[in-house]
Structure 1
Amino acid sequence: MITLPDIEVCTEIYSSASSLVYRGIRQSDNTPIILKVLKADYPTTAALIRSKQEYAITRSLDIEGVIKVYSQQDYQRSLVMTLEDFGGESLEKFRQDLPESYCPMPLAEFLHLAIQLAEIIGSIHASQVIHRDINPSNIVLNPATGRVKIIDFGIATRFSRTNPSFQNPNVLEGTLAYISPEQTGRMNRILDYRTDFYSLGVTYYELLTGQLPFVTDDMLELVHCHIAGQAITPHELNSEIPPIVSEIILKLMAKNAEDRYQSAAGIEADLGTCLLQLETTNKIEAFPLGMQDISDRFQIPQKLYGREAEIETLLAAFERVAGETKEQNTYPKSQIELILVAGYSGIGKSALVQEIYKPITQKRGYFISGKFDQFGRNIPYSAIVTAFQSLMRQILAESETALQQWRDQILEAVGAIGQVIIDVIPEVELIIGAQPPVPKVGAIEAQNRFNLVFQKFIRVFSSPEHPLVIFLDDLQWVDSATLKLIELMMTDSETQSLLLIGAYRDHEIDAVHPLLLLLNELRSRSIAVNQIALAPLALQDTCQLIAETLHRDAASIAPLAELIQRKTAGNPFFVEQFLKMLYTENLIEWAGRVSTGGGRHGGTTPTKPWFS
């Protein structure tokens, strides 16, 4: 228990890995309160910053459906927040303690609650905040008053489109059973406010069916289910759920954010229609969804346009090194493979490579990446080091049992000269511990020794059980030591299930560039080297991108598409920036949109003549 002046702490009501929550009373005015304190005796700087951010965001939300925070103060070496206590308990606690009423919930009660939640989330989004952790534990209900509030803004963010990184499921932010595909960092998609709609859909699913859509104890399998798995339709699990309510939930849980509801008002409207039908006719008939789902945000779709063949080439290469083949052996298996992606800056090389996230997750593989720097060509192995540092962080986040297995395998591979690897990748020491010093040798001998032990080191992480994909960007600036290491990796007969992907600007290298010389050498030795040359978008693809952004048919925006194609030369990055410029300069006017199935046309209209 904690001790604070003017506060009587009554009981601990919740404990997580990072915080403790207590019920108490402020004695000066006899007000019931909730106290939230960081759990660690010595919280990290990151934990303290996060707690202060949670306080600031919660304090800024003057919304009836959001828990109110009174104050935050220092407590010993930590921080404690004081919040309102309106007599509620979390839905998760009700589900555990009163399963007959909340697991599953009766349809009418669910609809009343679901409408309230949609309205609250809409208000949160209108305040430019994304919660990022909607689930029954963070929804508090007082059954006596019917009041419901959303709590715990610990990982909430202000509105921005962020790109989560590929990382171990153990360290993902959010509650894994409820997070959206894009929040896993393995979808090559930007994270925005619609991540909350997916989590809300999973919450609705659980409240109505009594179970989660994806049930597994394997975290990586759960991530893959969110990305590619199809949940059983709710009304198949509970026959009392009308099919149209199932459709609403599954629309919320669509894998791509563009296919979900685009506004909380749209969710609220469709749920309201269901409730009205239930109360007036005692049944719920099907009706078109999304009729009032009007988005007030200008957003460019995140999918890739005009890259279908290139994506297929990339995925086929991964299937070969992962031990899978297409039907009739169209693609023969290979142990290791190199694939190069060439094109101008902004053409979409990195975005294309990230399409490999899904199959890597399915095969329980690892994806690591590094980037060469124009002014760091004299730093050997810079991108390789960055890539393997991220791999070490992924491994350090695994269970102690798995970590011990990795420790044993690495020590067996590097033998008595593990310090050679630690000198280049210091994070390795966190896994295998301190290693004895190695004898000093000349420069050439030292490089040969490193190359030898690195070959053995990399074999540990690339296997049919967990294929390894290494992505090295900006190879036009690669150093000679890394090129030699790439050659050794690609010619090592004992390495398996390794896919090395490189990206470079082909207009910045010539025929005598060391990279091209290496590629010619590898091909002469029958090493699998594939090349993907990314061309600018065709006018047809640019037209499709613009039409789907502005929610107009292709014919009506053809003049604009031709203009943008001329101005940008079909470079996807420039196309996106040009569209944003038109919008921010009020050269096009956003009139809202209706999601698929809606009746309103909406879209964007020009406010000034097209310019040339």
Structure 2
Amino acid sequence: MTSPSRPERHPPIVFDAAWLAGTTADELSAADGVVSERLFDPQTGTYWLARSALMASAGTHRQLQNELRLAPRLRPSWAMVPTATIWTADRMVLLAPAQPSSRTAGAHTGPGVSIPAVFEMAIAAARAVAAMHEQGLLHGDLRPHNLLIDDSGALRLTGFGHAVGIDAARQSMPQPGPAALPYLPPEIARGDVARVGVRSDLYALGIALYEILIGSTPFQANAPAAWHHAHLAIEPVPPQFRRNDVPGMLGRIVLTLLAKDPADRYASAASLVSDLLRLRAEWESAGRIAPFRPDAASPPSIPLLSGQLFGRDKEMALLSQAWSRVRESGKSELVLIAGAAGSGKSALVDWLGRETGLDAIHFATGKSDQLQRDIPYSPVVQAVRALTMALLGEDEAALVAVRERWLAGLAGQGRAVAELVPEVEHVIGATAPLSDVPAASARARGDTAMLRTFAAFGETGKPLVLFIDDLQWADASTVGLLEAFTAQPPDNVLLIGAYREGEPWARAGGWRHPAARRLAAGRRARRGRPRGGGQPHRDQAAAVRRSDRTGGGRAGRAAGTRGRARARRAGQDRRQSVLHLPAAAHADR
């Protein structure tokens, strides 16, 4: 009787220079002195990932030593874990088990990778990064060539040569080599140690996903300084504008990962996984993806008590009534909220956003910065950029509707907005150069372009809510824009401003803290209840007179006359109703 055959058993592998010489190698990548290869051992029929570096090169040698040091913290479900080390006459080699189809994600990028395949790769990469972060590690060098994939759909991270512990990142910031320059987070580029964290890895992952989709990174440069400038100052072209079959929401998620400010990126890789799973499910079931707000799965940075504000029923009612009036009438209003630092002014506005169910193209915020008072329209630019990026994630019908309103309102002056927010050209197209005018006229032109931008996002029955926080630190251009809003209010906009009581509003000649009281007095006068002998429209007329003085010549005076007439009409029909909520200082969250 013949005994059943048994699988051939091989003696344990002795990993040494002789074994290495007997393998066949396919190079997967080579960067910064480290070579990655897929090895095949003909004696055992096994495959291995080998990462090697010259012993004589201290820098690359240290990379492999760091990978070996971190091996106990890596897991084979999401990382290539070194299981053996070989020293040859001149090289150090780390080995990890691999598959016959093991390859890097950098081997196949661009339109040849289908959208379903991109979803699978993106979800697997995000899961691996989430697991790594849960293990307390920052990778520091994420790029397609450090994502190892195979035909089973598995994805594992490799290239941990620059990885550090999350808790140690601020003491030993990752310092990847030249190969990482196209993927370098802005905070690392500027050496901002305090802001390095898990979101730094997510920026690099965003660049990698962009490259997988398009076939190239979003920025191009030929020197370290040029790369740093690109990451710090240049906005990427949305991937859906470079590849037609990229869903708008996928493009929006990639751009969220690529935000210059870490606070504007995904808060965690786990939240990214959640959104990508949602994208894939809708794409597979319907062939399209309904717009939604990215990163909604992340917990808020400040704990909430059931999402409620306590003891602020009056202020909540006033704010809700203002929004309802704008929604029903289309006549814009300005609401000012005063209070001490940390008193809940922002919480009140957040509540309004939740209560009204506003989406990302009808609700935007900007925040003045004490250190950025010399940057024109700083908080307004933040808000317009957020609106634009949200719009790029909408379906074509929504985008076209806003584009048509925007172009009609700008009337050829689009460059005034595009110079401040370059991303708007992805919506409205290339803009024509502006004519040279005196500085005061240029400011007035900028104000008008911004106001008409607000109007483009506001719709009948769906007003735009724009929140500008920390007005006590507002730059002069933002202060001037608020004054222009009171004189020439666009339709369907609820503009909310918050400022700290007890601090003057910056800039001589601009609004100061008492302006809030003057505006409130103007509103009471328009309602026919003047106090202390106040005259209706005094402040609006004063603002127009300032514009008249800076407008220049006869044309400026004519514009001032038209502006005063508009201000009078606005007062009569309550288009610019101003609400002051000085008691919003103690809202609890």
**TM-score tier after normalising by the smaller chain length:** 0.3 to 0.5
TM-score, normalization by structure 2: 0.46
